[in-house]
Amino acid sequence: MKLLIVESPSKAKTIAKYLDGAYEVRASVGHVRDLPKSNKKAVDIEAGFVPHYEVSVGKEKVISDIKSLAKKSNEVILATDPDREGEAIAWHIREACNLHNAKRVTFNEITEKAVKEALKHPRDIDMNLKEAQEARRVLDRLVGYDLSGIIWQKVRYGLSAGRVQSPALRIIMEREREIRAFIPETYYVIAGEFGTVGRMKESKSYTLLLECDIQPKEKTEAERIVKAGRANSWEVVAVESTEVSRSPKAPFTTSTLQQAASSRLGYAPSRTMGIAQKLYEKGLITYMRTDSTTISKDALGEIGKVIEKNFGHDVLQIRQYKTKSKNAQEAHEAIRPTHAMTRSGGSTDDEKRLYSLIWERTVSSQMKDAKLKRSKVSANITNKSIPNFSVTGSVVVYPGWLLVDQDARGDDVILPELKVGDELNLKTLQSIEKQTEPPHRYTEAGLVKELEKRGIGRPSTYASIISTIEARGYVDKINKSLHPTDTGEVVISFLEDHFASYISDTFTADMEDKLDTIAEGKATYLKILKDFYGPFIKDVKSKAKLEKATNMGDAPEDILCPLCNSPMVVKLSKNGKFYSCSKYPDCMGARKLDGSVMEGPKKLDKKCPKCEKGDLMERDGRYGKFIACSNYPKCKYIEQDEEMRKANSTGVSCNKCKDGYMEERKGRFGVFYSCSNYPDCKHIVKTRPTGNRCTWKKVDGTLCGELMMEGTKTIPERCSDKLCPNHNPHKLDKVEKK
């Protein structure tokens, strides 16, 4: 028997179809090992930055199955994705499953030809690629934990920072500061409607909208132009006509695919990459994490046949595009359809739309330039005492690649045939006052483009960078634009003040270059990490005595402390911005941003039942009132008030501690359900429990007994235990069939 291991079940299913039983194809379902959550156990710095990996939760059975199959196999092939991450996954599978004779193959597309050709050329795991990925993972962990630790102390507990996420947040905040500092300037747009008269070749009359070539900033000048224009006759003073070419765009890279999908389809980068992953695993497109614009010769030949068959030989022009990224790596082809003859692909609407976008970009990239005729008509009053007024139009005279990419064509704007000296009949002329606008905030697509331009991150990281800063509450997406939150502003301001060099463009891009040298075999894992970490941790430790950084500036002068009448400052708490007395902690006065007085904690006539020393205090939190010990954080006893507890209780008893009840709570990632005895009992489920218990029998005959949660329409309930077949309907079907 021969065993071939890939990451995803979907990919395994597609490849198995091509191999006709010659290989047993199994999926690792992504990484099988990772660094532990505890930073102290994750990396042994003194031993040379040695990472300590643990088997990922739920992967024990996967590893066991692979080990069992490998013992029966005379050949084991690791066919994970063709990039550093894939190389690292292959190494982890080999180490975790003791597959020391396993070989490695890669293919850029999941087609029968590509898979079978790759299996003819097995190789060893590329340790340079593996170490480059490992260095990035370890570096991100060290930077993230050390910076996050000091942010916890100086800003607020639970916040975090990252090696590439923080520079992305800084870019967003820089644009926000530009917007705040922007001072609008007034200008005037002057436009008029004109009818064509006089020497015309055509009998049909036209109405043209001409706009003044100059936008005056002074009202008096705008009024002068309007007055003169209304008082005089108009004539054509210039007619210009030029032919211009529009070249097709290069085939998609990861970055350009995310940008195009965002602007044309409205997809977030993470959504785009998820859809592209499915298309790749189904064998419909080539590998979707790439910064190369190259297309293979075989693929170019097929694309040429498609163009000749559907659009004619005359429009074909085979091109090779130069990759702009100086460190282009990952897969070595652009994102393209595996079979250009397949015009439509995918099983869902999302998949079909993205596949169509990829197909159109790929095919149009090998077609001739489009040719457009651009015309400009300029007019003025007879004495020419005011600036020219003009209108432009364009007509496609040779479509070229626009035959495929119709959305890029735009509408034709046809102007009548006019000559210099032709009269124009003024119908209306008016001036509109406008103001200059600040620079636009970044959209997700715009941020991806900016990150790529500055060399921050790599193709595989763009989507996760944006998802991370959104999930952490550092930015809000409002009408497609990314707005930094109060929390994001405080965090990035703190990092800029004290760790500017580590979140700068030059440092981040330079570090990416250094990590690339590991992949190229020009530098070692130990040297790169050692050169960075020594100065970095020294700098972090030197900031230990900094003061808390929650102050966001002075409050308005008319906002005074309700207790001592002193000036107030804007501060940030976990519940958002508020006004705090400038004499804090000597004075505890506080106001909400609407000016109303914030009530402080109320002392209750009860001692804490946990530590028996502190007093119970009633406090206001983001999700309502709760009761906590006055000795917090030494004592973390907490409970909700009776009214909120009744409202949030599901009435379902906890099956861990047996004494508590499952209550609805809200956290950073939405609603969840936890035991009322928290923190003594930390049992949590993500979906509302129904009160029933799982009746699935284990191998030893005992019942599972876990809580049943609300499920889907087809299966109303599912078990809260992920390892139970009742948790997953597909697993349940397999169990029932057996």
Phi, psi of 673 (to 5 degrees): -130, 125
Catalytic residue among 287, 462, 474, 533: 287
Tokens 């009742």 found at: 726
Q: Which residue has the tokens 């050390």?
A: 146
DSSP 3-state assignment of 427? strand
The whole-angstrom separation of Cα 29 and Cα 11 is 10
Coil, helix or strand at residue 129:
helix
Alpha-carbon distances, residue 325 vs 99, 458, 609 (angstroms): 36, 10, 62
CB 192 within 8 A of CB 427: yes
**Alpha helices (H) along 120-181:** 127-154, 165-181
Contact 572, 550 (CB under 8 A): yes
Whole-angstrom Cα distance, residue 225 to residue 221?
6
Query: Is the Cβ–Cβ distance between 402 and 408 less than 8 Å?
Result: yes
Please indicate whether residue 533 is annotated as part of the active site.
no
Counting every residue written for the chain, the total comes to: 738
Beta bridge mates, 590: 580
* Among 375, 376, 367, 373, CA closest to 406: 367
Contacts of 294 (CB under 8 A, 6+ apart): 320, 321, 323, 332, 333, 334
- Tell me the C-alpha distance between 592 and 132, whole Å: 49
Paired tokens of 260: 């195009």
What sign does the CA torsion over 102, 106, 111, 115 have? negative
* Rounded-to-integer distance, Cα 49 and Cα 43, Å: 6
| C-alpha to C-alpha distance for 366 and 401, rounded to whole angstroms | 8
- For residue 339, the SS3 value is coil
Q: How far is CA 94 from CA 88, 128, 723, in A?
A: 10, 16, 24
- The verdict on whether omega for the bond into residue 633 sits within 30 degrees of 0, i.e. cis, is yes
Q: In Å, how far are 15, 108, 415, 519 from 102, measured between CA atoms?
A: 18, 20, 69, 21
Handedness of CA 127, 131, 132, 134 (dihedral sign): positive
H or E, element range at 648? helix 642-648
Q: Provide the token pair at 493.
A: 């301001």
Q: How far apart are CA 71 and CA 75, in angstroms?
A: 10
Helix count (H) and strand count (E) of the chain? 19, 31
State both tokens at 404: 């495929």
Radius of gyration of the chain (CA): 33
Alpha-carbon distance 335 to 676, whole Å?
51
Which stretches of 436-573 are assigned E, i.e. beta strand?
475-478, 481-484, 551-554, 568-573
Q: Give the chain's end-to-end CA distance (angstroms, integer).
A: 24
CA atoms of 272 and 251, how far apart (whole Å): 16
| Residue partners of 727: CB distance under 8 A and separation at least 6 | 718, 719, 720, 721
In order, the DSSP letters of 696-737 are -B-TTS-B--PEEEE--SSSSEEES-TTSGGG-HHHHHHHHH
How far apart are the C-alpha atoms of 480 and 267, rounded to whole Å? 10
Active site residues: 287
